[in-house]
Structure 1
Amino acid sequence: MQRRSEPPRFDTEAFRVRDAVATGSSRTRLTRRDLTAPIHGVRAPVDLDLRLVEAIAVVMRRDQFVSHLDAARLWGGPVPARFDGGPVHVTSIGDSPIMRRPQVTPHRTRLVDVPVDTVRGIRVSTPARAWFECASLLTEEELVVLGDHFVGPAGLATPDDLAASIVAGSRSARRARAALARVRPGVESPMESRMRLAVVDAGFAEPEINVDVTDDDGGFLGRVDLSWPALRIGLEYDGDHHRDRSTFRHDQRRSNGFVVNGWILIHATASDAARPAVLFERLRQAFVQRRLARMAPSGQSS
């Protein structure tokens, strides 16, 4: 860790106490009420919205980096809420000492050329490495959701990157491979991932993801979260923002366009995700309706 050559800015940044003292700040100055101590050995302005991971980053050495769940969070990945408020995962490289602090879960990697990136000035695991590190902490479904995020529109990793991150013979390798087999590019939200997994686990054919649908004249009708285009069946997840009046009206007009073009569009909400039996029954009925329509003689309705 390089020592600072200039005094810290007491009003804009977090800093190490030892660096402040080394550049001329008095111990008395470091105890004033305009500063807070987020962790031992670190001070920050009281009005600075400093997260624990950012405070830990101040005292990390160059041979350490934020890893596992905290790296995934810094990359914007969906991490389950049950891990909120937990200790920060910090990995040390090679034979360097691990970080021993009450707010830290320490790890070590023997790889001296471990891939490390930077997010907002903090050394972190790459997205693919963070995904595999999380395999020891997340369920298979949660790992799929995280993988979908990394290979999704953000373009943080590819399925090949995730595959290359798996350490053969490790305790988490089997879970990671099982999750990777279900990771799909193109997913735009964690709930889309969960709905897709739930539908497939319920026995339905795997849907296509975020398909742009047009009418018979080529006019754009909309993008469907999950769909079976050959059957003209779609499944949409409606989050809380769909309750807004203007959004609701737009959704109604959009749904009408699908209906008049022969689509069955099923809408799911958070309550359906928690208790999907009714949703699955609606979806089953849609498949039955399409099957009966195909079996009906030409010119007759189903």
Structure 2
Amino acid sequence: MAEPLYRYKELLAAGLSREQVRRLTDMSRLHRLSRSVYAPSADQIRSLPAIFRRLPAGAVVGFHTGAQLHGFGDARSPDVHVIVPAGESVPRIRGVVTHEAVLPVRDPVLLAGVPCAPAARCAVDLARSLRRMDALPLLDLCLRVGACRSEELRVEVVRHDRLRGVCQARDLVPRADPRAECRQESQLRLVLMDGGLPTPEPQIWVPDSNGIPLYRLDLGYRRHRVGVEYDGLSHLDRVRLRRDRARTNWLAANGWQMRHFTDEDLYRRPTHIIRTLIPLLGP
């Protein structure tokens, strides 16, 4: 069977934003054959039309696979996730996880040739079911790529009232922020909030004496002039290290107290992060 092709205008008409198309291409979920022609390049996506021939009417792509199609599939899964109407008989298909629709899916959209739950529905379903540290990065990314708006998430989470995991989703949706630029930054922000510290501001620009933005901080507290950053493997590069040292020295000379944390701090000793910052933020 020939691989389906999609023109760029068709992807936009199907509900994807320009940022989502770019991100899907960067994630190798779409392959650009020419300037305006794309094809799904993941076996999982190519298999969707065939899978749907075996599913009951009303089935839609959702959860992890739905988020992937909408361009914010940060929570990867080797399986295809579909939502099926309650009470329907569903054949057992290898590599397919079915979720019975306790809550009906409203207004599905056509993506990759199959019906898909709206982005807000996929995001809230995942925010209910993922680990807390995985759920907030996904919500942040959903907003960042423009898959939906904050208001749509808030409306959707109300619809999930009394469903399993809704308390977590209800807590995290208002905390979602499109300014977060990576998974670890979102997780670090959550550690700070869960530790009882004020909500930090993502992506703070610090200007020079002429008011021109000079350095950008991952997270920070303007009033206290405290910056908080996650240092991944890229910070070990020699050239990057030199730039980081010059940047840190300039910020310190201009009244900013910077604190840097690693994967060891984030995933194994989050209380160390809180104890480090409490003295800097004061009452």
* TM-score (normalizing by structure 1): 0.69
Instruction: Give the Cα separation in 1 of the matches to 2:196 and 2:65.
Output: 35
Whether 1:258 and 2:251 are equivalent positions in the alignment is yes
Q: Which residue of 1 aligns with 2:27?
A: none
Q: Deviations over 1:145-182 (max 9, x none)?
A: 22111112x12211111122232444133332122132
Of 140, 144, 160 in structure 1, the residue corresponding to residue 151 of structure 2 is 160
Q: Deviations over 1:176-197 (max 9, x none)?
A: 2122132233211121111111
The structure showing larger relative contact order (alpha-carbon pairs under 8 Å, at least 6 residues apart) is 2
Deviation at 1:128, TM superposition (A): 0.6
**Aligned residues: CA RMSD:** 3.0
Whether 1:270 and 2:266 are equivalent positions in the alignment is no
Instruction: Give the Cα separation in 2 of the matches to 1:217 and 1:284.
Output: 31
Change (3 A) 1:119 1:189: farther
Alpha carbons 1:227, 1:234 under 8 Å: kept: yes
The amino acid that maps onto 2:263 is A
Of 59, 63, 72 in structure 1, the residue corresponding to residue 51 of structure 2 is 59
Q: Which residue of 2 aligns with 1:144?
A: 136
Change (3 A) 1:123 1:282: same
Unmatched 5+ stretches in structure 1: 1-7, 14-47, 292-302
The amino acid that maps onto 2:138 is L
Deviation at 1:214, TM superposition (A): 0.7
The amino acid that maps onto 1:191 is Q
Deviation at 1:282, TM superposition (A): 2.9
Alpha carbons 1:127, 1:157 under 8 Å: kept: yes
Change (3 A) 1:99 1:72: farther
Instruction: Give the Cα separation in 2 of the matches to 1:179 and 1:94.
Output: 27
Whether 1:78 and 2:74 are equivalent positions in the alignment is yes
Q: Which residue of 2 aligns with 1:283?
A: 277
Q: Which residue of 1 aligns with 2:208?
A: 215
Instruction: Give the Cα separation in 1 of the matches to 2:111 and 2:264.
Output: 35
Q: Which residue of 1 aligns with 2:181?
A: 188
Which is helix-richer, 1 or 2? 2
Alpha carbons 1:54, 1:122 under 8 Å: kept: no
Whether 1:100 and 2:92 are equivalent positions in the alignment is yes
Instruction: Give the Cα separation in 2 of the matches to 1:64 and 1:236.
Output: 43
Instruction: Give the Cα separation in 2 of the matches to 1:271 and 1:187.
Output: 20
Q: Deviations over 1:25-57 (max 9, x none)?
A: xxxxxxxxxxxxxxxxxxxxxxx9643353244
The amino acid that maps onto 2:60 is F
* TM-score (normalizing by structure 2): 0.73
Q: Which residue of 2 aligns with 1:19?
A: none
Secondary structure at 2:154 match in 1: helix
Secondary structure at 1:252 match in 2: helix
Alpha carbons 1:221, 1:257 under 8 Å: kept: no
Count of residue correspondences: 242
Change (3 A) 1:162 1:99: farther
Deviates more, 1:183-192 or 1:90-99: 90-99
Instruction: Give the Cα separation in 2 of the matches to 1:197 and 1:136.
Output: 16
Alpha carbons 1:234, 1:263 under 8 Å: kept: yes
Instruction: Give the Cα separation in 2 of the matches to 1:110 and 1:279.
Output: 40
Change (3 A) 1:95 1:242: same
Alpha carbons 1:221, 1:254 under 8 Å: kept: no
Change (3 A) 1:50 1:141: closer
Instruction: Give the Cα separation in 1 of the matches to 2:123 and 2:238.
Output: 38
Unmatched 5+ stretches in structure 2: 5-39
